[in-house]
Amino acid sequence: MLRLSHRAWNNVVILAMLFMVYLFTLSNDMINSDEDTPEELMPLFPPFSVIMTLDFGIARIERIGQDWRIQDNAEAPLNDLVQISENWRTLEVRPAAITPEQSPYIVSVLLAGEDKKRVFQLFPEESGLILHSSGQNYQVDNIAIESLFPIALVD
């Protein structure tokens, strides 16, 4: 057995702890290094968020308890309204460097527990939809613009 003073053993313990912290940090960096790629899909809204209002400018879809209603003289079946809100809630995007040149469809979304609406501009492109929000452009894949709007509102 090594005969070290009390102070020397304290130094050994401190150095061992620093070495363990370094190993844990290094292993964490190695495990999570693939997660920071900009091409990865990310959800548009936080998990378990609840959409209260989808405002399309000329029509608005509102949550009333468990059901939905559409305002401003537009008509759509309840099943369509539920599907539209679910499509928005589960929308996944990836950062995009594309600058759209068409005129956008503008949608504002109010989430439960938030005071301000989130405003999105949607640009239909050949490669999918481009969504612009807060100065960033995002690519939306595998979804048609018709599934995000009541049918009567899409040209």
Using CA atoms, how far residue 78 sits from 64, 100, 137, in Å, is: 12, 33, 31
Strand partners, 136: 133
Question: Is residue 50 domain-shared with residue 116, that is, in the same domain?
Answer: yes
Question: Is residue 84 domain-shared with residue 58, that is, in the same domain?
Answer: yes
Question: Is residue 53 domain-shared with residue 125, that is, in the same domain?
Answer: yes
List the chain pLDDT tens, one digit each, 155 residues. Answer: 678 899 999 999 999 999 999 999 998 878 877 655 556 888 889 988 999 999 988 888 899 888 888 886 666 677 788 888 888 898 998 888 887 778 888 999 999 999 999 999 998 887 778 889 888 889 888 788 888 887 655 55
Question: Is residue 71 domain-shared with residue 91, that is, in the same domain?
Answer: yes
Domain that includes residue 20, residue range = 6-33
* pTM greater than the 0.85 cutoff: no
Quick check: is 133 in a domain? Answer: yes
